[in-house]
Amino acid sequence: MKNRITIRDVARAADISVTTVSLILNGKGRRFSKETRDKVLSAQQMLGYIPNYYAQSLVGKPSTTIGVIVPDIGNPFFSTFVKGIEDITFQHDIVPLIFDVGEDNHRADYYLQMLTHRTADGVILASHSITQTIVDQILTKNGIPYVATDQTYLGNDSDEVLVDDEMGGHLAIDYLVRSGHRRIAMVLPSLMTKNLIKRFTGYRKGLADHGIAFDDQLVFRPEFSRHGGYIAAEQIVKSDATAIFSVNDDVAIGL
């Protein structure tokens, strides 16, 4: 296994001091001649040297990382969500650190602690596993800015990017009723996050606004996954439902 190329190797190849090489590679080499800067950059390219991120941060180069906490990277919604973040951070020379925490509060707590230790510039929170208490104890205490989105509801004091989930549920039912359906099934998990509760509220209000009585027999609660959607479909086709409102992409794919 090859030894890692170090800044000393670059200095040796360029026949220039380590201090000078460090200043040039950290963007502080304007005082040096173009010839000296070119020698350093040529040696870096020839050796394939990649500056150590943490060493750079010690000499004053600002951090350029943000943490992204999601509940399930395998979910099509969150994979698209993360891709959008990567597209924007790439444009601004920021490195996103993606963490899949599932339903595990302890894992979410651990990753936030690690982001704090690595002096992340900010965090995007998209998991209901993260509570206001965790945020206050870790992020707020250490002065790390954050934005909550999708499944994360932290209260009025937090910066949040959310959609009107209740209106979304209402619009879905309005569309289905106007398409001729009155027996509309809904697929929900047993344990619902706040955004799903709001969609369920929109579902019920949508039915009521069209004069359709809510029927608990049309609410199906399988495992919240593609497999769960598949199992739910077997049950729904045996009912008198003519349309289905799913509140999750994975479940919808299973259906």
Q: What is the pLDDT of residue 1?
A: 44
CB burial of 156-175 (b: ≥16 within 10 Å; e: otherwise) equals eebeeeeeebbeebbebbbe
What is the separation of C-alpha 209 from the centre of its chain, rounded to a whole number of angstroms? 35
Q: How far apart are CA 52 and CA 54, in angstroms?
A: 6
Q: What is the pLDDT of residue 75?
A: 83
Q: What is the pLDDT of residue 73?
A: 87
Q: What is the pLDDT of residue 63?
A: 56
**Series of mean pLDDT values for 10-residue runs along the chain (255 residues):** 74 89 82 89 85 55 79 87 93 90 82 82 86 82 85 69 92 97 93 87 96 95 89 93 91 92
Q: How far apart are CA 49 and CA 183, in angstroms?
A: 65
User: How many other CB atoms are found less than 10 A from the CB of residue 104?
Assistant: 14
Instruction: Give 213: exposed, middle or buried? Use CB within 10 Å, 0-12, 13-18, 19+.
Output: exposed
Rounding to the nearest 10 degrees, give the CA dihedral for residues 103, 107, 112, 116: 180
Q: What is the pLDDT of residue 120?
A: 83
Find, among 8, 33, 30, 34, the residue nearest to 21 by Cα. 8
148 strand-pairing partners? 125, 160
**Residue tagged 């608990």 (tokens):** 216
Domains along the chain with CATH numbers: 7-58 (1.10.260.40), 65-161 (3.40.50.2300), 165-254 (3.40.50.2300)
Q: What is the pLDDT of residue 225?
A: 85
Q: How far apart are CA 242 and CA 209, in angstroms?
A: 19
